[in-house]
Amino acid sequence: MEFSLSSKRISLVLVLFLFEPRLCYGARKLASLYEPPPMTLKYHKGALLEGKVPLSILWYGKFSSAQKSIVVDFLLSLKPLEQKKLLSSSTTPLVSKWWETIETYMKKAGKNMTQFILTDQVTDETCSIGRTLKRPQISELAHRVISKPGGLTLVLTADDVGVEGFCMSNCGFHGSDSKAKSVFIWVGNSVTQCPGQCAWPFHQPIYGPQGAPLGAPNGDVGVEGMVVNIASLLAATVTNPFGNGYFQGPAEAPLEAASACPGVYGKGAYPGYAGELLIDATTRASYNAIGSNGRKYLLPALFDPNTSQCTTVV
Ligand SMILES: *[C@@H]1O[C@H](CO)[C@@H](O)[C@H](O)[C@H]1NC(C)=O
Ligand SMILES: *[C@@H]1O[C@H](CO)[C@@H](O)[C@H](O)[C@H]1NC(C)=O
């Protein structure tokens, strides 16, 4: 194929560009990058995020209630029982079925299933520590909200907030405070800053082979790009919360459950093509999972430890 030669060259440039040192364990890499999946993700025998996990959200900057509910409904969709009552057909591609791949990691390590309990949501609409944040300020913000040991805080920044490394080397990252046994994830809304990097495939990619952007199932390119990155980082955080869980490669720049499958959203994916997806008959939006309130989502492929393949639920 004609395009593969040039895309290889572009990928190589991107790989070099992405491998800058990182402070946190796992960063959600730019989605347009393609690398073949590794053969295994090794378990390094450390703690995983198991059992009931209190989850808090810090909304940093302006988010509408419609935007918040796209994210919150996704998080609520990870609860298997609630969804099974809602949609009983076993062929329905539920968000909770997507999450079952993560449960496989837990089972293999002899750990309990992870169950998130959404405990608090805090809004800092005026951006109390400014609109240009350094990485340590993200953990500072997370600590304001973490109320319980073993908890997870999502720090979500609005589209007018800049974060060190955002759009340059990543779209979000996860980190931890091992003393408090708590973890955090940061993801930014890229819509005005770099949607071609952090909201692909809902936006034209800035590098690599060009395909038409896909319709966002909830009509919000920025926030649905965030959902992709949140989903990817939740998978990484649960399976590698303190840097000694499941990963491959160097601990400071690891491949984790979802970052091992960059740019893959369905079967047959290749650079510039997200893979076979479901299409909403009315809106023509693309999706591959159904969550709470019948909401549609596009979720990243996860590396399945049983099959060593990148899998999604469609
Ligand atoms: C795991 O499950 C067992 C049995 O239900 C329970 O006793 C234990 O406290 C759980 N551990 C964690 C970390 O949730
Ligand atoms: C994956 O393998 C484990 C045993 O290692 C098994 O308990 C589990 O059911 C498998 N999951 C799937 C989806 O096949």
Indicate which residue's Cα is closest to atom 5 of ligand 2: 108
Indicate which residue's Cα is closest to atom 14 of ligand 2: 306
Would 24 be classed as within a structural domain? no
Give residue 81's pLDDT.
53
Give residue 10's pLDDT.
34
Q: Which residues line ligand 1 (CB under 6 A)?
A: 50-51, 112
How far is Cα 21 from Cα 219, in angstroms, rounded to an integer? Answer: 35
Would 146 be classed as within a structural domain? yes
Indicate which residue's Cα is closest to atom 2 of ligand 1: 112
Would 5 be classed as within a structural domain? no
The whole domain housing 166 covers 42-311
Encode pLDDT of 76-88 as tens digits.
999 865 545 555 5
Closest listed residue to residue 301, CA positions, set 288, 284, 292? 288
Better pLDDT: 29 or 200: 200
Give residue 147's pLDDT.
66
Indicate which residue's Cα is closest to atom 14 of ligand 1: 51
Would 8 be classed as within a structural domain? no
Q: How many domains does the chain have?
A: 1
Give residue 38's pLDDT.
52
Better pLDDT: 6 or 36: 36
Give residue 314's pLDDT.
85
Better pLDDT: 131 or 207: 131
Candidates 100, 102, 104: which one to mutate for ligand 2, based on the most atoms within 8 Å of Cβ? 104
Would 125 be classed as within a structural domain? yes
5 has pLDDT over 50: no
Ligand 1 centroid to Cα of residue 48, in Å, is 13
Would 126 be classed as within a structural domain? yes
Would 26 be classed as within a structural domain? no
Better pLDDT: 170 or 4: 170
Would 36 be classed as within a structural domain? no
Mean pLDDT of 283-307: 94
